[in-house]
Amino acid sequence: MQRIGVFVCWCGSNIAGTVDVAAVADALKNEPGVVFSTDYQYMCSQAGQDLIVSSVKEYSLTGLVICSCSPRMHEVTFRKTAAAAGLNPYMVEIANIREQCSWVHKEMPIGTEKAIILGKAAVAKVNLNAPLTPGESPVTKRALVIGGGIAGIQTALDIADAGFPVDIVEKKPTIGGKMAQLDKTFPTLDCAACILTPKMVDVAQHENVRIFSYSEVTDVKGFIGNFDVTIKKNARYVNEDICTGCGDCVTKCPQKKVPNEFNLGMDNRSAIYIPFAQAVPKVATIDPAHCTMLKTGKCGVCSKVCKAKAIDYTQKDEYITEKYGAIVVATGFDPISMDKFDEFAYSQSPDVITSLEFERLTNAAGPTAGKLLRPSDGEHPQKIVFVQCVGSRCDSCSEKGKEYCSKICCMYTAKHAMLTRDKYPDTEVYVFYIDVRTPGKNFDEFYRRAVEEYGVHYIKGMVGKVTPEGKKLMVRASDLLDGKQLNIDADLVVLAAAIEPDKSARSLATMLTASMDTNDFFTEAHPKLRPVESPTAGVFLSGTCQGPKDIPETVSQAGAAAAKVIGLLAKDKLKGNPCVASSDELMCNGCSSCEKVCPYGAITYEDKEFRMPDRTTRIRRVASVNPAVCQGCGCCTVACPSGAMDLRGFMNEQIMAEVDAICK
Amino acid sequence: MQKITKEQLTEKAVSLLRDGTVTHVLGWSAGEFDYDITPAVFSDEASLRKSFVWNDFCGANFSKYLVSKTRGIEGKLLVFLKPCDTYSFNQLLTEHRFDREKVYAIGIPCEGMADIDKVKAICGDGISSVNCDGEKLLVQSIYEDAPISVSPSDVLAERCVNCKSKKHVAYDELMGEDGDVLDSARFDEVSRIEAMSPDERFLFWQNELSRCIRCNACRDACPACTCEVCVFNNPRSGVENKSPANNFEEQMFHIIRAFHVAGRCTDCGECSRVCPQNIPLHLLNRKFIKEMNECYGEYQAGETVGSKSPLTDYTLEDLEPGEVFDRGDINA
């Protein structure tokens, strides 16, 4: 019989505010096996932990129930406390009476009743706990970074500088991401290319970095320290190792009418293309959807002009499998589609553009070579209206946009407005905003300069409708401070479109078993204390895949993620999780149900000889679990038809005992 | 009326025994009554010729017998499989429940089996013999002088009325002609029950399941129930050999069993055939199959060897749990 101690934490007023902790401690005193029960203000503090250690000695406790916050928060803490008191760390059970009780209930009697029930379930489970000892698993000292934007590049560089090999997988033909498309960067106005392209070169030349461009991750298996990742290298129909990036093929390609995605479709590129002059790797890629040779078998011009003989029309997608110890997600963002915002006439007039399109229009390497010209007629716009929060901060019930603030729009709009006034002082610039949000270093000063020095008209209010009329765009808006309706005959309207996570993020999250929020941003393990780790061990987050961020924030988070990865890869071995599955061979049918559902490939089968009751022997196929590979997810235990498979620390019997205790 | 005859099957079995292809034959033999057919293993020609039976009452699915009957024999076991039996055959192979090398499987055509309860409904009790004149079943009752002639189509078992397939999905050799997968109306009854209000549905099942006498025949005949130790026999499961405290516990037995075979049930209908209380247990399994088909696309357990049931297979296109949960409202 266990001798169980129950420790009820107040968590200040977090728990004690809605749960009568003394009543909980008192009620649990009478549960089977409980010999000691008490409450304390902060159980996780030094004094609280000392109380646990001394009680273990005084009452010869063999098992502990801590009624406190979620085990995600402090299970590890209390396991260490148990170990310090001489108990096996797995003799501790947490009853979560904070997140699942005090925080969701308002009335003391209800909260108290539920806390007692949760405590009883934990006591029932501890009664059946057994000491467990973890095994060890080796760490593959190589990291994978998914996404080659500024976040991915910075993370890769930092890890590589620490001496560990890193692979970057980028789905586009070049790394660089969104930052490569930008013109200048706020608040210092240094040019994006000048600060990004050297980093792109650094990462490409780094001896510890491999770049898989035009590639994607298609499968992830394994676990922290031991991921097996399948990378699909899409056929670019050009031999990357031979191509010199001279661009002859691009010039000669007869198919020149392909919308150029790098310039957001504002000009055309050829079917064989290099996204931009500073692309890394600087190699050509054939777009199979538009290449005449690949579509009809007739053309072959690029192949003829290529001096390096790098063109290969027969190239196939290639799959590579590689082992990694850590995975960093840096999949970035995209501006949302403007399809649902018809009031701004985005689909009706080429002179209504998004801010990213504006970036390309003002970029020296863009479709207009940096001259701000109207897409419709190539004339200089005299009056520009910027609309903020298009699709950001929308009503939760609105189907159109996002509830969150996209965070970067206020600043880049200030930048756009300022730069326009700086270069073209004869241009009138209006910015319509809900609020201007500038909480960053030198941000507010930057915004005030736009208003005070550059004379940008900032108007609080939203644009209701944009109507194309002749060469003009009639902008109807309200000025909330003056209480007036405004009608502006603009030449160009720029929409600050909300940003959303890249579409590839969801399927990737599924592959990685990493969690996401309702907006498809990756979730952190803890929003404050573990902001660059995902709840899935060994998976880290870098950049806007986790939430809207500007470049300085992205780079600092990228460095933080790298630091976590380095910390992991520096270890030779990882202590495993002793809560692994095992099969009762006498009951196992060898049916393979468990093997089919095991996400880690931890289950194999062997033919084993069994002695039968009648003294004969029989050879039977039975499952065996590799404890070093098993991660204790428990899928097999529910798939097993006979109940032969069980999970240590979460035995079927323990779970049924908890259910019984709750239903009693 | 079966197209293939007892004589053809017997001759085939005899010749395979003679040439040493097989050492044992799994077949049918007469029981106490003509309609009470019992599976039997024959190992010599004489007993085959004497006792082998094939008629409209040979409904038993032999696939499950292979699990136990292939153990401890040298050489091969000949088994005759009707189309529906071949699905169970494949499913058991998928689950590695018997050694394929020890089996010689002959696919035989099936015109549907008779349900003795339907015969009794027409002819009354006291049936002393059932014979076949080539077209009709001739049912002799102890209360009648002359046999009553019954058309086989009038007494076809429910699972045969709604036959899902005349196609054999596994065999070493085929006798007669192979058929096609059929477009059966087997889910119509499930839809009818789905359309009931929750109260009506509860009453329906309570009425059906209250007749259960927990004889375990459904489990013992079910080709998906081949566990080394059944949970209902396992002391650690907490439900071992438990006598029911109330009839709700019987309902749980059948519901737990339906969950256990979900994704593996081929819808062979043995559970309902062997139920002495005529509980339509196959409807529970069909409900699972229908749900899976609707949630994850058509899946037929046992159609191929090694296929993964939707419940043990995960793809990125799978429904989100929330969407499955929301379906509950449809059936509420």
In degrees and rounded to multiples of 5, residue A232 shows phi and psi of: -100, 115
Instruction: Spell A72-110 as b/e; 16+ CB within 10 A means b.
Output: ebbbebbbebbeebebbbbbbbbbbbbeebbbebeeeee
- Rounded Cα distance between A521 and A506, Å, is 9
Region of A443 (left: φ > 0; alpha: ψ -120 to 50; beta: rest) is: alpha
Chains A and B: how many Cβ contacts under 8 Å?
59
Is residue A321 within 8 Å of residue A228, measured between CB atoms? Answer: yes
C-alpha closest to that of A429 among A409, A450, A456: A456
Q: Specify whether A491 is located in the same domain as A528.
A: no
Alpha carbons within 13 A on the beta-carbon side of A647: 20
pLDDT of B217-258, one tens digit each? 999 999 999 998 898 888 877 777 666 666 667 678 899 899
Burial (CB count within 10 angstroms: exposed 0-12, middle 13-18, buried 19+), residue B126 = exposed
C-alpha dihedral, A290 to A295 to A296 to A300, nearest 10°:
70
- Rounded Cα distance between A182 and A238, Å, is 28
SS3 A125: helix
Residue contact A642–B313, C-beta within 8 A: no
Which residue type does A197 have?
A: T
Residue contact A590–B96, C-beta within 8 A: yes
Q: Which residues of B touch A511 (CB under 8 A)?
A: 316
Is A242 contained in some domain?
Answer: no
pLDDT of B152-210, one tens digit each? 999 999 999 999 999 999 999 999 889 999 988 999 999 999 999 999 999 999 899 98
C-alpha closest to that of A19 among A44, A48, A46, A39: A39
pLDDT band at B110 (very low <50, low <70, confident <90, very high): very high
Q: Specify whether A546 is located in the same domain as A615.
A: no
Q: Which residues of A touch B236 (CB under 8 A)?
A: 643, 652-653
Is residue B66 within 8 Å of residue B17, measured between CB atoms? Answer: no
Q: Specify whether A63 is located in the same domain as A118.
A: yes
Domain boundary among A465, A498, A531: A498
Both tokens of B54, joined, read 């094939």
Q: What pLDDT sits at residue B329?
A: 61
The rounded mean pLDDT for chain A is 94
Q: How far is CA B141 from the centre of its chain?
A: 28
Q: Specify whether A259 is located in the same domain as A342.
A: no
Is residue A219 within 8 Å of residue A229, measured between CB atoms? Answer: yes
Give the one of A591, A620, A643 whose C-beta lies nearest to B95's C-beta: A591
Is residue A481 within 8 Å of residue A460, measured between CB atoms? Answer: yes
Does A482 lie at the interface with B, CB-CB under 8 angstroms?
no
- Rounded Cα distance between A573 and A136, Å, is 6
Residue contact A642–B72, C-beta within 8 A: no
Is A443 contained in some domain?
Answer: yes
Between the CA of residue A489 and those of A343, A424, A471, what are the distances in Å? 16, 18, 9
Is A243 contained in some domain?
Answer: no
pLDDT of B16-27, one tens digit each? 999 999 999 999
Does A588 lie at the interface with B, CB-CB under 8 angstroms?
yes
- Rounded Cα distance between B173 and B192, Å, is 40
Beta bridge partners of A579: none
Is A132 contained in some domain?
Answer: no
Q: What pLDDT sits at residue A367?
A: 93
Structural domain boundaries in chain B: 6-113+158-174, 116-155, 188-331
Q: Specify whether A506 is located in the same domain as A491.
A: no
C-alpha closest to that of A28 among A60, A55, A58, A66: A66
Sign of the four-CA dihedral B194, B197, B200, B202: positive
Is residue A92 within 8 Å of residue A78, measured between CB atoms? Answer: yes
pLDDT block averages, 10 residues each, chain A of length 664: 96 96 97 96 96 97 97 94 96 97 96 97 96 91 97 98 98 96 94 94 97 96 91 96 94 95 94 95 95 93 94 95 97 94 93 96 92 93 96 84 94 96 95 94 95 95 94 95 94 96 94 90 91 92 97 96 98 91 93 89 91 87 89 92 93 93 90
DSSP letters for A512-554: HT--B-TTSPBPPSBTTTBTTB-SSTTEEE-GGGSS---HHHH
SS3 A616: coil
Alpha carbons within 13 A on the beta-carbon side of B141: 13
* pLDDT over threshold 80, residue B116: yes
Q: What pLDDT sits at residue A571?
A: 96
Q: Specify whether A201 is located in the same domain as A252.
A: no
Burial (CB count within 10 angstroms: exposed 0-12, middle 13-18, buried 19+), residue A635 = buried
Report the residue of chain B nearest A660, measured CA to CA. Answer: B238
SS3 A496: strand
Q: Specify whether A79 is located in the same domain as A109.
A: yes
Q: Specify whether A541 is located in the same domain as A511.
A: yes
Q: What pLDDT sits at residue B326?
A: 79
Give the one of B227, B236, B313 whose C-beta lies nearest to A641's C-beta: B227
Between the CA of residue B90 and those of A169, B168, B192, B301, what are the distances in Å? 42, 10, 31, 8
Q: Specify whether A225 is located in the same domain as A342.
A: no
Sign of the four-CA dihedral A457, A462, A465, A466: positive
- Rounded Cα distance between B316 and A616, Å, is 47
C-alpha closest to that of B232 among B222, B221, B243: B243
pLDDT band at B330 (very low <50, low <70, confident <90, very high): low
Look up the pTM and report it: 0.73
Q: What is the 3-state secondary structure (H, E, C) of chain B?
A: CCCCCHHHHHHHHHHHHHCCCCCEEEEEECCCCCCCCEEEEECCHHHHHHHEECCCCCCCCCHHHHHHHCCCCCCCEEEEECHHHHHHHHHHHHCCCCCHHHEEEEECCCCCCECHHHHHHHHCCCEEEEEECCCCEEEEECCCCCCEEECHHHHECHHHHCCCECCCCCCCEECCCCCCECCCCCCHHHHHHHCCCHHHHHHHHHHHHCCCCCCCHHHHHCCCCCCCCCHHHCHHHCCCCCCCCCHHHHHHHHHHHHHHHCCCCCCCCHHHHHCCCCCCCHHHHHHHHHHHHHHHCCCCCCCCCCCCCHHHCCCCCCCCHHHHHHHHHHHC
pLDDT of A313-366, one tens digit each? 999 999 999 999 999 999 999 999 998 899 999 999 999 999 999 999 999 999
Between the CA of residue A162 and those of A150, A371, A542, A563, B179, what are the distances in Å? 18, 43, 17, 9, 67
Q: What is the 3-state secondary structure (H, E, C) of A430-441?
A: EEEECCCCCCCC
Q: Specify whether A258 is located in the same domain as A195.
A: no
Q: Specify whether A180 is located in the same domain as A324.
A: yes
Instruction: List the single best residue of B229, B257, B264, B265 to mutate versus A (max A Cβ within 10 A).
Output: B229
Instruction: Spell A224-255 as b/e; 16+ CB within 10 A means b.
Output: bbbbbbebbbbbbbbebeebebbebbbeebeb
Q: What pLDDT sits at residue A13?
A: 95
Angle at A650 between CA A649 and CA A655, to 5 degrees: 135
Between the CA of residue A436 and those of A182, A458, A480, what are the distances in Å? 21, 9, 14
Total domains, chain A: 5
In degrees and rounded to multiples of 5, residue B240 shows phi and psi of: -65, 130
Is A72 contained in some domain?
Answer: yes
Between positions 502 and 541 of A, the ones with CB within 8 A of B are 507, 510-511
Q: Tally the residues of chain B.
A: 332
Give the domain range for residue A284: 248-305
Does A604 lie at the interface with B, CB-CB under 8 angstroms?
no
Looking at this predicted complex, what is its ipTM? Answer: 0.86
CB count in 10 Å sphere of residue A53: 15
Q: What pLDDT sits at residue B244?
A: 66
CB count in 10 Å sphere of residue B214: 16
Q: Tally the residues of chain A.
A: 664
The rounded mean pLDDT for chain B is 90
pLDDT of A468-497, one tens digit each? 999 999 999 999 999 999 999 999 999 999
Strands (DSSP E) found in A173-306: 184-185, 190-191, 209-212, 215-223, 226-233, 258-259, 268-269, 272-273, 285-286
Does B96 lie at the interface with A, CB-CB under 8 angstroms?
yes
Between positions 109 and 138 of B, the ones with CB within 8 A of A are none
pLDDT of B279-314, one tens digit each? 999 999 999 999 999 999 999 999 999 999 998 888
Check which CATH number belongs to the domain holding A343 and give it: 3.50.50.60
Give the one of A590, A639, A643 whose C-beta lies nearest to B231's C-beta: A643
Q: Specify whether A291 is located in the same domain as A382.
A: no
* pLDDT over threshold 90, residue B213: no
- Rounded Cα distance between B84 and B69, Å, is 20
